Amino acid sequence: MKSAVTSSLFSHSKNLLKPNPLSRLESVFLPKPSLRSIVKLFPSSSTSGLRSISSMASSFKPEQARVPSALPLPAPPLTKFNIGLCQLSVTADKTRNISHAKKAIEEAASKGAKLVLLPEIWNSPYSNDSFPVYAEEIDAGGGEASPSTAMLSEVSKRLGITIIGGSIPERVGDRLYNTCCVFGSDGELKAKHRKIHLFDIDIPGKITFMESKTLTAGETPTIVDTDVGRIGIGICYDIRFQELAMIYAARGAHLLCYPGAFNMTTGPLHWELLQRARATDNQLYVATCSPARDSGAGYTAWGHSTLIGPFGEVLATTEHEEAIIIAEIDYSILEQRRTSLPLSKQRRGDLYQLVDVQRLNSK
């Protein structure tokens, strides 16, 4: 895996690339024994022993562990590409925030990124007071109604890249949502994910925040086919719910993207842990992007935008300052990892099932 961190746009950023632990991980997987060596394990029963093992595995009904049955991993449009994670500072000046994000996207693309991920709530301060003020009518199609998405559409088309547009407050009638827009290399809006799990927490003496005071929860999981593969989208608190990631994996996702703004209480404890868990459990890539930390803001983000590989390895990350991370994604690794750990063939459909309600109801 190749990864790099650039910071020419943000001269004060200090970035950290963690060592790739693949060499240690690979050492625990021994070559598969040949048929002859397996038979030697059952000298008295020979191949009948193999048949009994196969029969036992079949009785576990792994294909029934996902309802409907999991889709096969689709062939991606390309095997390798660079992703850019833009960890941005956010101010109370919306015009400045949009211009700043535009420059970061352009820099990431100039460094070779074919996919760019922005942070959660990058055009507005993160507060219940700010959400209604900075909210945009995305369905109006850009322009004055949604200058943030107008910029994303223009830049994605001009640069020929895919953009996972972090998230912005969205207004629909009298409702507000925390919404991520995905723009294709043609500048068209390919998908829109409204945060499903709202951030309502109360840790005494540490942090209390209730998104539900102003925001409405989304109702639809979002997975989208792009020029850089099939991507499942979640926003921040969504990453805590493994069922959503499992549904995306069962729908054939190559990559999960989570713009997020974990805080100074849960960030140090859970941010990297959850990313690695989602990647490891589902054997796919996970990318996250946080706002840069502003200790003077009403809500202080943890930072540490990261790319995780399908073995749960940290491929690239940064600290809390502004930064642009450029890292390589190699989808050929997915099948290798799934062959080494054939989890999809070992699930116990006779004991448990994950039901994808949306897919089931669409049949």
* Angle formed at CA 214 by CA 208 and CA 219, multiple of 5 degrees: 105
- Residue 289 β-bridge partners: 259
Q: Any idea how long the chain is?
A: 363
Q: In this structure, what are the phi and psi dihedrals at residue 32, rounded to the nearest 5 degrees?
A: -65, 135
- Which pair of structure tokens corresponds to residue 33? 């024994």
Residue that is written with structure tokens 């700010």 in the block: 130
pLDDT of residue 54: 55
Give the DSSP H/E element, type plus range, for residue 133: helix 130-134
Q: What is the pTM of this model?
A: 0.86
Separation CA 230–CA 211 (nearest Å): 29
pLDDT of residue 326: 98
**What's the pLDDT score for residue 6?**
45
181, 236, 257, 289: the active-site residue = 236
pLDDT score recorded for residue 212: 97
C-alpha–C-alpha distance, residues 307 and 2, integer Å: 12
Instruction: Identify each DSSP E strand in 47-167 by its residue range.
Output: 66-67, 80-87, 113-117, 162-164
Q: % helix / strand / coil in the chain, to the nearest 5?
A: 35, 25, 40
Is 236 designated active site?
yes
Alpha-carbon distance of 218 to 240, in angstroms, equals: 16
- Annotated catalytic residue within 94, 107, 114, 120: 120
pLDDT digits (tens, 9 = 90+) for 226-285: 999 999 999 999 999 999 999 999 999 999 999 999 999 999 999 999 999 999 999 999
Place of tokens 């790739």: 20
Q: Which of 107, 170, 195, 211 is catalytic?
A: 195
- DSSP for 264-283 reads TTTIIIIIHHHHHHHHHHHT
Closest among 134, 157, 155, 158 to 146, alpha carbons compared: 134
219 carries an active-site annotation: no
Q: Give the pLDDT score at 56.
A: 57
Active site residue 14: no
**Into which CATH architecture does domain 80-361 fall?**
4-Layer Sandwich (3.60)
Positions in the chain whose pLDDT score sits under 50 = 1-50, 53
Distance, CA of 105 to CA of 161 (rounded, Å) = 10
Sign of CA dihedral 27, 282, 324, 107: positive
